[in-house]
């Protein structure tokens, strides 16, 4: 499955200098989704996403092109989301599972399983949670996640392995064997 | 790819940002631009506050210096007066001594 990160890796990112509005329009879903999947709170995700784009506006001239802007946005959104949780002690609450989720054109797969997986990812500690979001939402490779979160690749791989093992065990226990 | 990983990609598919999100960001940027434009006024306010502080400190220092100088001048005047009194006392003692000698000779 070709995720949004794959297109950038294939060099399909804009070569000409995009305007701020272009970057905002092209990346708002990505920024909002990272924040939403991490925080599991729509209002908090909107707040973080808005702050990220305000910061982008202030440093827009320093960004070289669309691909650099996307990397910058992922990095800043990840850091801002983690900071948001640490400052506000916001827990990825299972209760929020009942809250209405933002629209997605066509959610693939089993909606119940998707909700269960999102809840389990929401229960992970901050760093592995962000690693999982960047891996499976953004389709980034461990090396790209390592660059985005400024951590060693082996740490990223370790987070991924441990998180997958935990998910496999919990999902297997509650919803049947998925391999 | 394992089924679990495929399911994770499904579960973590990107969500659409709210329809009004772009307009809200642009409105925030306009407000932020207003804040930037107001910054020079804020700078002037800081400069004024700094000038007032410098003036107050300067005034207090000047007053203190003046008091020190006045006290030094007072001390010097006192010393001169004491010296004058000492000279006068010595002279009076000599006159008294001469008068006593004159009376004894007579």
Phi and psi at residue B96, to the nearest 5°: -60, -40
Residue B31 — pLDDT band, cuts 50, 70, 90? confident
Q: How far apart are the first and last CA of chain A?
A: 18
Which pLDDT belongs to residue A99? 52
Domain enclosing residue A112, as ranges: 20-175
Residue B41 — pLDDT band, cuts 50, 70, 90? low
CA pair distance A169, A171, nearest whole angstrom: 6
Q: Does residue A128 form part of some domain?
A: yes
Contact A132 B22 (CB under 8 A): no
Residue A101 — pLDDT band, cuts 50, 70, 90? low
In the predicted model, is pLDDT for residue A129 greater than 90?
yes
Of A57, A55, A34, the closest CA to residue A46 belongs to A34
Contact A113 B11 (CB under 8 A): yes
Chain B residues with beta carbon closer than 8 angstroms to that of A114: 7, 10-11
Which pLDDT belongs to residue A62? 80
Which pLDDT belongs to residue A12? 46
Distance from CA of A32 to the nearest CA of B (A): 6
Burial of B73 (0-12, 13-18, 19+ CB in 10 A): exposed
Question: Contacts from A4-9 at CB under 8 Å and sequence distance 24+?
Answer: A4/A30, A4/A138, A4/A139, A4/B14, A5/A138, A5/A139, A5/A140, A5/A144, A6/A139, A8/A67, A8/A70, A9/A144
Distance from CA of B43 to the nearest CA of A (A): 20
DSSP state of A101: P
Chain A residues with beta carbon closer than 8 angstroms to that of B28: 50, 53-54
Q: Does residue A87 form part of some domain?
A: yes
In the predicted model, is pLDDT for residue B35 greater than 90?
no
Tell me the average pLDDT across A83-92: 74
Which pLDDT belongs to residue A89? 65
Angle (CA) B19-B22-B28 rounded to 5° is 130
Which pLDDT belongs to residue A9? 47
Contact B17 A28 (CB under 8 A): yes
Q: Is B4 on the interface with A (CB under 8 A)?
A: yes
Number of domains present in the structure of chain A: 1
Distance from CA of B34 to the nearest CA of A (A): 13
Domain holding A79: CATH number? 1.20.140.160
Q: Is B56 on the interface with A (CB under 8 A)?
A: no
| pTM of the model as a whole | 0.65
CA pair distance A82, A85, nearest whole angstrom: 5
Tell me the average pLDDT across A111-136: 94
Q: Does residue A55 form part of some domain?
A: yes
Distance from CA of A118 to the nearest CA of B (A): 6
Q: Give the max Cα distance, chain A.
A: 51
Determine which of B12, B18, B27, B28 to mutate to test the interface with A (most A C-beta atoms within 10 Å). Answer: B12
Q: Does residue A27 form part of some domain?
A: yes
How does the average pLDDT of chain A come out, rounded?
A: 83
Tell me the average pLDDT across A10-28: 75
Q: Is A6 on the interface with B (CB under 8 A)?
A: no
Q: Does residue A8 form part of some domain?
A: no
Residues A71-86: pLDDT tens digits? Answer: 999 999 999 999 999 8
Contact B4 A1 (CB under 8 A): no
Residue A16 — pLDDT band, cuts 50, 70, 90? low
Supply the DSSP string of B6-32, one letter for each residue.
HHHHHHTPPPPPPTTHHHHHHHHHHHH
Among A42-51, A103-112, A134-143, B60-69, whose mean pLDDT is lowest? A103-112
Chain A residues with beta carbon closer than 8 angstroms to that of B17: 28-29, 31-32, 49, 102
Q: Does residue A100 form part of some domain?
A: yes
Contact A137 B14 (CB under 8 A): yes
């Amino acid at each position: 499955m070709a995720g949004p990160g794959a297109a950038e890796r294939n060099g399909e990112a804009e070569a000409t200098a995009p305007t701020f509005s272009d970057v905002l329009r092209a990346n708002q879903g990505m920024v909002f989704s990272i924040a939403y999947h991490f925080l599991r709170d729509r209002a908090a995700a909107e707040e973080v996403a808005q702050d990220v784009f305000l910061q982008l506006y202030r440093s827009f001239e320093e960004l070289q092109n669309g691909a650099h802007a996307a990397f910058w946005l992922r990095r800043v959104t990840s850091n801002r989301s983690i900071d948001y949780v640490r400052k506000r002690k916001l827990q990825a609450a299972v209760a929020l599972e009942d809250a209405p989720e933002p629209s997605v054109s066509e959610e693939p797969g089993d909606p119940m399983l998707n909700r269960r997986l999102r809840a389990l990812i929401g229960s992970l500690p901050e760093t592995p949670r962000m690693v999982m979001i960047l891996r499976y939402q953004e389709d980034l490779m461990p090396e790209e996640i390592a660059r985005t979160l400024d951590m060693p690749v082996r740490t990223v791989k370790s987070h991924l392995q441990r998180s997958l093992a935990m998910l496999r065990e919990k999902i297997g226990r509650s919803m049947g064997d998925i391999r | 790819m394992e089924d679990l990983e495929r399911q994770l990609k499904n579960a973590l598919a990107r969500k659409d940002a709210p329809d009004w999100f772009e307009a809200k960001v642009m409105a925030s940027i306009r407000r932020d631009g207003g804040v930037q434009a107001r910054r020079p006024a804020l700078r002037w306010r800081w400069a004024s506050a700094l000038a007032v502080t410098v003036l107050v400190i300067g005034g207090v220092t000047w007053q203190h210096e003046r008091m020190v100088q006045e006290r030094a001048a007072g001390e010097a005047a006192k010393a001169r007066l004491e010296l004058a009194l000492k000279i006068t006392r010595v002279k009076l003692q000599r006159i008294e001594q001469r008068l006593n000698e004159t009376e004894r000779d007579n």
